[in-house]
Amino acid sequence: MDVSSLDWNGIWREIQEKRTIRPKDSRGWDRRAPSFARHAGKSDYIGQFLQIMQPERHWRVLDVGSAAGTLAVPLAGRVTTITAMDPSSVMRSLLEERCRQEGISSIRIVNGRWEDDWEELGIEVHDVAIASRSLLIEDPRWAIEKLSRYASQRVYVSTIVKDGPFDRRLIEAAGRSFHPGADYIYLVNILYQMGILAHVAFTVHEENRTYRTFEEAVEAMRWMVDPMTSEEEALLRNYLSRTLVATDGYWHLPCPRKVRWAVLWWDKA
């Protein structure tokens, strides 16, 4: 079989239809924003992504799906300007607060989605465009073409590897089968069919979260089984009560997981 002749964009859509955890709308991200921002701010994904990116001082950067500034804030002192776009009002408010607290004036915050008319939002062509863990869309080829139009020099996209941030143990313990959806290798093939020979690098993080209370652990893991029925919550609580280990006054899951993200980038030339 000639794999180059396959409709990788269509295959992506078919696989994404089977995934267990569906993309959240802006209201869903509003609910998850505070806990997501706390966890994202502590992750060494940021440092590893920036090490791969090697930002240059003169760059003007467009960050699509910026969340509460996961990359925008640490980039603020390394590039000239950043346009941070996100559809969640809570994420944008958290980013505004971070900018106030840290005295950052180089970040422009925009209420926008992939599907919006970016020109109407006042988005201009930047030197570099980023979609960090935000390519949660059914037509990745369309999204990549759009993102690429707003970058004059380089494009960065990151996406999941295998199960990504989802803990299969917890999801299956709640009584659900788990399918993570399409991971980075499908995106590599889509880019190849678009004539883009992307560089690929990986961030690797050992996930060993600790919680002050049992209830805090349950709430922190709830997003992976959301919305959760009362029966599923009972199963999850039973699993955690049998599995969580208490050490020095904190709770944690044994056997830390390694979470990988693939960072794909290419030069426009």
State residue 266's pLDDT score: 98
pLDDT tops 90 at residue 21: no
Give the per-residue pLDDT at 73: 96
pLDDT at 220 over 90: no
pLDDT higher than threshold 60 for residue 127? yes
pLDDT band at 246 (very low <50, low <70, confident <90, very high): confident
Average pLDDT over residues 256-266: 94
- The residue that leads in pLDDT, 38 or 236, is 236
Rounded to whole angstroms, the Cα distance separating 94 from 73 reads: 11
The verdict on pTM exceeding 0.85 is yes
pLDDT above 70 (res 27)? no
pLDDT number for residue 36: 56
Taking only the tens place, the pLDDT of each residue in 38-57 is 655 567 899 999 999 999 99
Question: What pLDDT is recorded for position 19?
Answer: 82
Handedness of CA 263, 140, 133, 268 (dihedral sign): positive
Task: Quote the pLDDT of residue 43.
Answer: 73
Query: What is the average pLDDT across 80-101?
Result: 95
| Model pLDDT, residue 264 | 98
Question: Over pLDDT 70: what percentage of the chain?
Answer: 91
pLDDT digits (tens, 9 = 90+) for 164-217: 988 999 999 999 998 888 999 999 999 999 999 999 999 999 887 788 999 988
Q: Which pLDDT value is given to residue 223?
A: 82
Look at residue 29 and tell me whether its pLDDT is greater than 70.
Answer: no
Q: Is the peptide bond before 74 cis (omega within 30 degrees of 0)?
A: no
Tokens representing 138? 């059914």
Q: How far apart are CA 264 and CA 151, in angstroms?
A: 15
* DSSP per residue, 126-180: EEEEEEES----S-HHHHHHHHHHTEEEEEEEEEE-TTTT--HHHHHHTT-----
Q: What is the secondary structure of 179-218 as a DSSP string?
A: -----HHHHHHHHHHTT---EEEEEEEEE--EESSHHHHH
- Are 232 and 175 in contact, with CB atoms under 8 Å apart? yes
At residue 5, the pLDDT reads 78
Tell me the per-residue pLDDT of 69-79, one tens digit each, with 9 for 90 and over. 999 999 999 99
